[in-house]
Structure 1
Amino acid sequence: MTVSTTTPYDRAGLIALIRSEFALDWQGIHGANHWARVLHHGKNIAQIRKADLLVVELFGFLHDSCRLNDGRDPDHGKRAAEFAHGIHGDYFDLQPLQLDYLCYALQHHSGGEVSTNATIQTCWDADRLDLGRVGIYPSAQYLSQEAALFIDLAHDWSIQHPKIN
């Protein structure tokens, strides 16, 4: 594994791998622009909640990486968790509990659950705050209290800047 001096994992290699296997439009509603916003939201919330920033960052890149379509795809989270588990050790090297948190967050991110685990909920918060891009206003009942503070700002960003250039 080649590790960057600025990140504890091979970010460039991971993104290249995801891009080479991504089945959807890279600039589409579940593509790189969405991931960038999820990553942004996740980093902000993780700092406030003291969540595991590495897990949150990996979630941002991986959560929709195995989608087969932009519509209903109930198994995309499960596929993303399997993908993450399969490339663990090649592009990133997590402790067992970190890998468990990442895979759980990936597998269950679109099911509407909430979690008392700060890292898992932060992953879900980050994704849910970007629902504006598909015409959905995020509901505070599915967010942590910390993330709920960002609903209006995140929603405005999602609809005004659906693509980050």
Structure 2
Amino acid sequence: MISANIATSLAIDTNESVHGEVYDKQGMISAIREQFKISWHGIHGANHWARVLRHCMTIGTERGADLLVVELFAFLHDSQRHSDGGDHFHGKRGAEYARSLNTTYFELTPSRIDALCEAIEHHSGGKVHDQATIQTCWDADRLDLGRVNIMPSPKFLSQEATKHITRAYRWSRENRKRIEIE
């Protein structure tokens, strides 16, 4: 059972996405949790996903990104990590996992699943992207570097994301506490 704290922060007490599209969010998160290999409470776990989701929605709304794709990214981008340390292939495994969930827990068109998978596969590379949805995903993840005492660099963020650096860093530092799971 997931506590009200995490249910609220991840909005998993409903199958409606943060922006209104319906998909089997509860089923997807349960599937992720069942196979998750690192600590649910660790630096790449559920607390991180909640902060990435918040950043995705803020920046994605400003930028006009595909909000369902960025929401799915928040939950899936680190879902296939084998370590909280170096894990160079977690993005590739995550993209493959996202494809395997399509049509079971959510239904994305080929172009939307391709964008999601590209965002997941390459989110750790420090690249920038000209596609708004993919860059929103990467910005949201990078804005949570404060959880490991790293100030995000404007060099690797979009213009929209750079204005959130100070607030995001402070928020990541203040909200990196463990989430209780019942």
Q: Do the two structures share a fold, i.e. TM-score over 0.5?
A: yes
Calculate the TM-score normalised by the size of structure 1. Answer: 0.95
What percentage of aligned pairs have identical amino acids?
A: 56
Pick the aligned partner of 1:148 from 152, 162, 167: 162
The residue number in structure 2 matching 1:54 is 68
TM-score by length of 2: 0.87
**Residue type of the partner of 2:84?**
D
After superposing on structure 2, the runs of 4+ consecutive aligned residues of structure 1 that deviate more than 6 Å are: none
Q: Give the partner amino acid of 1:158.
A: S
Once residues 118 and 89 of structure 2 are traced to their aligned partners in structure 1, the CA distance between those partners, rounded to angstroms, is 13
Structure 1 unaligned residues grouped into runs of 5+: none
Q: Which of 99, 102, 106 is 1:88 aligned to?
A: 102
* Structure 1 vs Structure 2 CA RMSD: 1.3
2:25 to 3, 8, 11: 11
Q: What is the identity, as a one-letter code, of the residue corresponding to 2:151?
A: Y
**Structure 2 gap ranges (5+):** 1-13
Question: How many pairs are equivalent?
Answer: 163
Other-structure match for 2:91: 77
Letter in 1 for 2:70: V
1:103 aligns with 2:114: no
Contact 2:41–2:178, Cα closer than 8 Å, also in 1: no
| Structure 1 residue 163, shift from structure 2 partner | 2.7
Residue 65 of structure 2: SS of its match in structure 1?
coil
Deviation at 1:136, TM superposition (A): 1.0
Structure 1 residues 28 and 60: CA distance shift in structure 2, 3 A: same
